Structure 1
């Protein structure tokens, strides 16, 4: 926005509030940052993307490759050679080694690189459709644009998505067991180590619902009282996408990112949810006007009784992190859930193929999703080590 609160570029605003409007807040925020990275780069190089596409000039292969090189580096990284100009280094080989090392240190993850170039491709495609979709364009320009998009897509596919450069220790846990147990203990409302003066029951439910169901922060924030099945087995919670929720007054409306499913929590936690609804939440007048489970209990801004914001959930975890001496955020509990899920599945002897199908359902992924590989790699690495050591031991015995 400019000083008059008007969009600097209406095409960018239309793109963010059009094709991306149905995405979750976190996804929209990430996509916006990716697009901002591209726009800032081309603005600094005096390239106006909407104007280029409107005129049918687009960007050249050279201009794209220069952008790709920039995408590989951290936002704050400068020209690798500029950092060594103050030194008098006569050995050209040594100077090249220093430059190469600086570039390596500044490289971003494959996932970040893929996101940046994918956002450029998506924005260019959208602009092309706005300017030329209904009116057509000459064959030569259309072919040039198709070659450019094909090049970007090829680079995008070669990034490998979540397959980063880092090789993590297979014994490492996203949250060490001792830290996880301490987390569960200090968030109990009756714990003498509880770091919260108020809203203890609500904050306990935030942590324990995430830890025991494996759902995302957005799904938690949009949970309604009616989503809890306080009947039958008394352990089921409905998780689903709801689109634009008219009763939600929050500016940043949370939502479930993946498909609908039932999450399971134990009866004790279910009873605690019921207690919170009947004896704490009911005391706030504004809570009567909506069905969302978690509410603000602080009235400093007149928000008591209103649905709890995503930022407030983050604040809860920031305070917990300070007490634990270990940085923890909501999504880490989803990873921890998967670690525990693997151990329990192996303990009871569930068939590995069935285990992955169960995981996909519990996480809300479609059956053809490959997201389970992110959580499955650690278990496979442990099995690979076990079999490799067994093979080597057998050879040692033969010797």
Structure 2
């Protein structure tokens, strides 16, 4: 039995995800788990999707080893050590390779491609939580049942792969130089013969999306969630708004703003480009006036005029990264890291104290002032500062040694 995660939108605009079998019937306990444990905790739809994908992998493991956790728990039988080991090993498989075209579970072979350790770790963490939930409802209550279930969950978690601390080489080491970003922006300039698209309105939209990401450090979800009403053309500002489960958004996989709401200042020239896109191009696209989202689909088809989807934006970035070898590292989050790097440099030039810099950065990025997230995005700049400080010490030592020899 091959399962799939199905997402749908309620009349109120709320997004739901369920795990269904090959007939489209929802699986009872996963649906109950999502409703009682995840939606009750106000977890995001994307978090729920990830959890259901892990449970989908767990059911593939059950099918392969002819296990039925629900029946086992009802019979007061928990998992044995070798079964937990098989779960650990099975969770290394990429999800798309777990079933054959005929819907049968494919055996795990040692030489097959494996998922990253972080992926395997997250799957087993979710499965451990689900098994606690399931056993808590089906395992007969005895004086020792709670302790036995806790021991099982602890065993599963103990079999998660060890994830080493991040090495010196991390995402902050992979960055795009200003010259590369300038080249990308030039390639996207409307009217440029090297532009990957032919339609002028599409060229204008794509160039504007890239410029906004570069100059604001917005996340992809924040960019695709922008509405015309968020822009104050008199004050030259844009407001980042959280719109989870918006009933006016036709996208089933709605882009979400993960961070806090905030007001972000923009230069008049950029505001002018935004106004020009709205007046000259966006408002002439059929269907675009039915909603307020800024960036819309320009290509003909059933989604003409709809807000751009996550997948549509992903294709746009893929197109850019394939234009030249030096663009290969281009992605929305790389631009977010680069924005933070430039922000740090400007704060240094303006003499902003580290404490003040963290507060400013946290507000502009939508983080809590007490969040440590800023350290992740500032790592590249700190490493450069550390390098300059060390070089200064070495040069000072060499000058001192030279002076002593001359004396």
- TM-score interval w.r.t. the shorter chain? 0.7 to 0.9
How many Å apart are 1:166 and its aligned residue? 6.3
Summarize the Cα distance change of 1:391–1:242 in structure 2 as closer, same or farther, 3 Å threshold. same
The 8 Å contact of residues 120 and 161 in structure 2, kept in 1 or not, is answered as no
Residues 149-207 of structure 1, C-alpha deviation per residue, up to 9 Å, x if partnerless? Answer: 445567779746xx43462597x442233221111211121333222112111111221
From 44, 51, 54, give the equivalent of 2:64: 44
- The residue aligned with 1:4 is 23
Q: Partners of 2:171 and 2:227 in 1: how far apart? A: 39
The 8 Å contact of residues 61 and 148 in structure 1, kept in 2 or not, is answered as no
Q: Partners of 2:307 and 2:274 in 1: how far apart? A: 16
Summarize the Cα distance change of 1:296–1:23 in structure 2 as closer, same or farther, 3 Å threshold. farther
Q: Partners of 1:292 and 1:223 in 2: how far apart? A: 6
Q: Partners of 1:142 and 1:15 in 2: how far apart? A: 18
* Alignment gaps of 5+ in structure 2: 1-19, 98-106, 403-407
* Alignment gaps of 5+ in structure 1: 84-101
Q: Partners of 2:43 and 2:323 in 1: how far apart? A: 34
Residues 240-296 of structure 1, C-alpha deviation per residue, up to 9 Å, x if partnerless? Answer: 212211111112112211221123332211111111112222223422221111111
- The residue aligned with 2:234 is 231
The 8 Å contact of residues 284 and 304 in structure 1, kept in 2 or not, is answered as yes
The 8 Å contact of residues 132 and 149 in structure 2, kept in 1 or not, is answered as no
How many Å apart are 1:229 and its aligned residue? 1.3
Summarize the Cα distance change of 1:372–1:303 in structure 2 as closer, same or farther, 3 Å threshold. same
How many Å apart are 1:226 and its aligned residue? 0.6
Are residue 59 (structure 1) and residue 85 (structure 2) matched?
no
Summarize the Cα distance change of 1:319–1:138 in structure 2 as closer, same or farther, 3 Å threshold. same
The 8 Å contact of residues 260 and 367 in structure 2, kept in 1 or not, is answered as yes
- The residue aligned with 1:116 is 123
Q: Partners of 2:378 and 2:116 in 1: how far apart? A: 20
Q: Partners of 1:281 and 1:324 in 2: how far apart? A: 29
The 8 Å contact of residues 110 and 164 in structure 1, kept in 2 or not, is answered as no
SS at match of 2:141: coil
- The residue aligned with 1:371 is 373
Summarize the Cα distance change of 1:181–1:108 in structure 2 as closer, same or farther, 3 Å threshold. same
- Please provide the CA RMSD for this pair: 3.4
TM-score (normalizing by structure 1): 0.78
The 8 Å contact of residues 209 and 265 in structure 1, kept in 2 or not, is answered as no
Residues 94-136 of structure 1, C-alpha deviation per residue, up to 9 Å, x if partnerless? Answer: xxxxxxxx9xxx776553344223222332344356658xxx9
Are residue 204 (structure 1) and residue 211 (structure 2) matched?
no
Kindly tell me the number of residue pairs found equivalent between the two proteins.
366
- The residue aligned with 1:341 is 343
The 8 Å contact of residues 88 and 160 in structure 2, kept in 1 or not, is answered as no
The 8 Å contact of residues 255 and 310 in structure 2, kept in 1 or not, is answered as yes
Q: Output aligned runs, 1:1-399, within 5 Å.
A: 1-7=20-26, 9-15=27-33, 27-53=47-73, 57-60=77-80, 63-68=83-88, 71=91, 80=110, 109=116, 111-128=118-135, 137-150=141-154, 159=163, 163-165=165-167, 167-168=169-170, 172-198=173-199, 199-232=202-235, 234=236, 236-299=237-300, 301-325=301-325, 326-327=327-328, 328-396=330-398, 397-398=400-401
